[in-house]
Homo-oligomer: A and B are copies of this chain.
């Protein structure tokens, strides 16, 4: 089932340099890596395509060159001809192109930011491990609002509004009965505030938006267990949450058992504005996210997975920060024998039934537990498949016991 590769003549309107550029491309996870290739104008381009996926792919160029079908783990060599202008490429297997398996050849020098963006493994690292519950019962927390340009997807930088420079903000943790004393400082350029769902109090003063340069103290008692959202309290909140201002507070239930691994995943949406600028409020209002993510980045933990050992009991706290989408949190290959949802354990290991999904609406949360029975790779997703495709997925890598 392999067509012979074709080649093409030199493009008519560019002076051939006589040089050849050779680029290695990997097909993996239904993507080409890199997916932008920069070639000096007039160079002949050779693409060495290695298929790193568990399914077949090919590469077809708009100028007629094509690899023929490339089996799993095989490599094909494609003579793309002399490149004088932009050339589009794609995988011709059914539905792969529509699913985003495309590539662009451009003329120029250097590899550039866009090319690097095609490479995985460059996303900012964020450990999903749940922080330990501190011994002290009063938690003094400094939280700084920072408006920072960060990479939010491969090749996409945005001016995010953040708590402490990351999206989501830091995970806070305590026990029922603890006191949190949060000092919020606005290091940004517009007013921001904070709303902690983890405490009950009159919003008027502690949740008020504050000016750039100002601080406020927000003191609350953690009287109830659960995983609670916090977020900016400045209107329009759709924009402030949609542009990065949210995080999780975990208040342990009194009887919370020790497990082998404990992780925290915050699901949210990305509505990208122009490159380097603030997220697009109109897209938020139209409910058209560019990505749906766990812990702030599409496919996060696909390349640097969460880890466990065969036979481990793993607990995953999940908070749906929205601003708009629900979550159907699922771990491929696992069954949840324990489910905690919005303050209540609804399923435990002694129950004969199990759960495949933790269903969350915006601003709700809980945890699930599963024993991962053998070594291998267990993807996790929002099983709302359009969101999984948008980036709401990752992997738990389970090593041998």
Contacts and interface: CB of A to CB of B under 8 A. Distances in A.
A45 to B, nearest CB: 27
A377 interface: yes
Interface stretch (A10-18, A130-138, A196-204): A196-204
A187 B287 CA distance: 39
Given A93-B190, A200-B370, A339 B337 contact: no
In the complex, the count of this chain's copies comes to 3
Given A99-B236, A322-B383, A376-B203, A342 B370 contact: no
A356 B56 CA distance: 46
Contact of A359 (B322, B330, B361): B361
A229 B355 CA distance: 11
Contacts of A225: 352-354
Contacts of A383: 322, 361-363
Contacts of A285: 386, 389
A207 B375 CA distance: 14
A208 interface: yes
Given A281-B99, A284-B386, A352 B202 contact: no
A361 B378 CA distance: 21
Given A209-B55, A352-B225, A373-B201, A357 B342 contact: yes
A118 B365 CA distance: 38
A328 interface: yes
Interface string A320-347: 0011101110101111110110111011
B347 A204 contact: no
B357 A351 contact: no
Given A203-B377, A324-B386, A330 B363 contact: yes
A356 B234 CA distance: 19
Contacts of A241: 385
B354 A223 contact: yes
Interface in A293-328: 322-324, 326-328
Interface in A36-94: 53-56, 93-94
Nearest to A282: B98
Interface string A14-37: 000000000000000110000000
B253 A352 contact: yes
A286 to B, nearest CB: 8
A212 B196 CA distance: 53
A388 B351 contact: no
Contacts of A322: 328, 383-385
Question: Which 3 A-B pairs have CB atoms at the shortest separation, nearest pair first?
Answer: A202-B376, A343-B353, A224-B354
